[in-house]
Structure formats: structure tokens, C-alpha cells
Amino acid sequence: MGNKLQSQVAIVTGACSGIGAGVANALATDGAIVVINYPSDHTHDAADAVLNEIKSAGGRGMIYQCDVSKEDQVQAMFAETVKQFGTVDILINNAGLQDDSPFTEMTLAQWNHVIGVNLTGQFLCAREAIREFLRRGMQPEKSVALGKIICMSSVHEVIPWAGHANYAASKGGIKLLMQTLAQEFAPKKIRINSIGPGAIKTPINKSAWDTPEAEVKLLTLIPYGRVGITDDIGKAAVWLASDDSDYVNGTTLFVDGGMTLFPGFSTNG
Ligand code: NAD
């Protein structure tokens, strides 16, 4: 175990699977106390399993059910975290989903569902986190920053994605939400950055990598020649949450094996 995040309290939204679970594990391995957020009764056992893995490796944390698109639930999650652990030092704004459709068939419900979780959820959680950072004040024994927020964006904050207009719009929105908050709160010593994953093997994109044919097709988009794993994102999150990245603010760190390098141009320019 490392100690870059020793005793810092981290809320990780959507941490009962995939990237969120991997990031929660990575933060705990570096000493953070982790709040594993999950959205419904249906995902309770998965969240419990993530916490048990952390505890069996000597880490600390709790699970907390909350739909990040609901203001009262988000406020209750932050209040309970402060009650249990004293404050919040790190927010990983990770919860997200897809509800895909050809654009002319996309319903308003599909649009609102994705924007509500992916974008409004990040707004609600970031607002509560910043309120708590400002209330609590500096803790030089923990970090040189007042607080850190990492927004889970996507390569689709810059790559358009036909058939996924709601998802791409949510990630494009996260880009300027993150940069605007970073600009507004840098003078208060709050650092806000995004991670832009490329293709990471998780439930959200299983059909894109779970057969050899699908994986070969996916790899044509990845110059580095492998599909990502949650550990790739966990390592990036630990760095962005730690003082090692103290001069990094308002940036998206793409962790994508080069997916944003326009691979189609490598043989056809
Ligand atoms: P995932 O489906 O395993 O994780 C998404 C998590 O969000 C799940 O645990 C789900 O329970 C949770 N969630 C959904 N709605 C919620 C709500 N209303 N409140 C709280 N939690 C909720 O998929 P993942 O790949 O781990 O996705 C995590 C994040 O990474 C998402 O924001 C996604 O857009 C982003 N991302 C993933 C990839 C990839 O290749 N896997 C690429 C780019 C970006």
C-alpha cells in the first residue's frame, strides 16, 4: 500500500462496478477512506463486494446508496460522509450511463435520463463537494490543495459519436463544466480535472470487446494495440488526486491508448 492519499476522504460515484470500482480500490490502496456510491437496491451487493475487497486489503470506507441525479439524495450523501468521516477531500464524479438511439428516434426521456445522470449528477456532486471544501478550510497535514475533483469524462468530449447524441452532449458538457469550475475555484486552491477514458473493459461497453471479432474491430481505433483496463484509470485517478499533480488544473487527461489521435489518418493522410 502507498500513502499518497493517507486519511483523505474520497466519494466515488457509481463505484459498484467498472471504472468506479477500480478507482475506489486504487484510492484505498493509497490510503484514502472511500465512500462507494451505488444507485439502487439492485446494485447494493455489488457495492458491498467492492467495500469488502477494500477492507480485506486493510482499507477503510462505507457504501452509500444515492441517485446522483437527485439533489436531496446527493446532499444527504455528503452530509452522511461528513458525519461519518469528518469531511470530504476528493470527489470522483464517475457515475454515468448510456441510453443509445438513432437521433430521430431518441425520446425526450432518453435525452433527460443521460443528461440527468451524466451531467446534472456531476453538477450536483461538484457543488456539494466545493461547499464542503470551503466550509472545512485547509488541512496542510493532508494536502496542499483545499480539495480535488476528478470528473469522469470520455474521449467523446472531443470525438462526435453518431447514435449517441445524448451521451456525447453530456461528455462535451462535462468538459466546460470542469474547466469553468477549475477557473472559478483555482484561487481557493481547489483543483478540478477530468479523465477521458478511451475503451476500457467494463459492463458499459461489453458488446464492444467480449468476442474476438468485436475486439479486433475495436482495436482499429486504438493505436497502442490493446483495450484498456480499470487499473489504467485507477492509476491516473490516484495521480490526479494526489499532490504529485499539484500544478495540474482544468485539464482532461486522456487515458485512451491514442484513440484521440485520429487513427484513421495513420495510413490515409
Ligand atoms: P459501468 O456501467 O460499470 O459504471 C457506471 C456506474 O454508474 C455503475 O456502477 C452504475 O451503477 C452507476 N450509476 C448509473 N446511474 C447512476 C445514478 N443515477 N447514480 C449513481 N450511480 C449511477 O461503466 P464504466 O465504464 O465503469 O463507466 C464509468 C464512467 O466512465 C462513466 O461516466 C462512463 O461514461 C465513463 N467512461 C467509460 C468508458 C469505458 O470504455 N468503459 C469510456 C469513457 C468513459
Catalytic pick from 38, 64, 167, 224?
A: 167
For the chain, what is the domain count?
Answer: 1
The pLDDT of residue 56: 98
**Which bin fits 75, alpha (ψ -120 to 50), beta or left (φ > 0)?**
alpha
Residue 184 lies in a domain: yes
Q: Is residue 117 part of a domain?
A: yes
pLDDT in tens, 110-135: 999 999 999 999 999 999 999 999 99
Query: How many angstroms separate the alpha carbon of residue 268 from the centre of ligand 1?
Result: 34
In tens, the pLDDT along 34-80 reads: 999 999 999 999 999 999 999 999 999 999 999 999 999 999 999 99
The answer to whether residue 167 is catalytic is yes
Is 262 domain-assigned?
no
pLDDT of amino acid 17: 98
Q: What is the pLDDT of residue 269?
A: 62
Q: What is the pLDDT of residues 201-246, one digit of tens each?
A: 999 899 999 999 999 999 999 999 999 999 999 999 999 999 999 9
Q: Looking up cell 452532449, which residue turns up?
A: 169
Q: Over the stretch 142-176, which tens digit does the pLDDT of each residue have?
A: 999 999 999 999 999 999 999 999 999 999 999 99
Alpha-carbon Rg for the chain, nearest whole angstrom, is 18
**Residue ranges making up the domain that contains 15:** 9-256
- For the sheet containing 147-152, what is the strand order? 60-65, 33-38, 9-12, 90-93, 147-152, 190-197, 252-255
3-state secondary structure of 106: coil
108 Ramachandran zone, left/alpha/beta (phi>0; psi -120 to 50):
alpha
Best residue among 11, 12, 17, 158 to mutate for probing ligand 1, ranked by most atoms within 8 Å of CB? 17
Could you give the CA distance from residue 37 to residue 76 in angstroms, rounded to a whole number?
12
Instruction: Judge whether 1 lies within some domain.
Output: no
Q: Is residue 160 domain-resident?
A: yes
What's the CA-to-centroid distance between 1 and ligand 1, angstroms? 26
In-domain check, residue 82: yes
Distance (Å) from CA 16 to ligand 1 centroid: 9
Within a domain: residue 233?
yes
Using the predicted structure, report yes or no on whether residue 268 has a pLDDT greater than 80.
no
Ligand 1: residues with CB < 6 A are 13-14, 16-20, 37-39, 43, 67-69, 94-97, 117, 152, 154, 197, 199-200, 202-205
Quick check: is 79 in a domain? yes
CB 187, CB 249: distance < 8 Å: no
Q: By alpha-carbon position, which residue is closest to atom 21 of ligand 1?
A: 14
Read off φ and ψ for residue 196, nearest 5 degrees.
-110, 90
What CATH number is attached to the domain comprising 89?
Answer: 3.40.50.720
The one-letter amino acid at 220: T
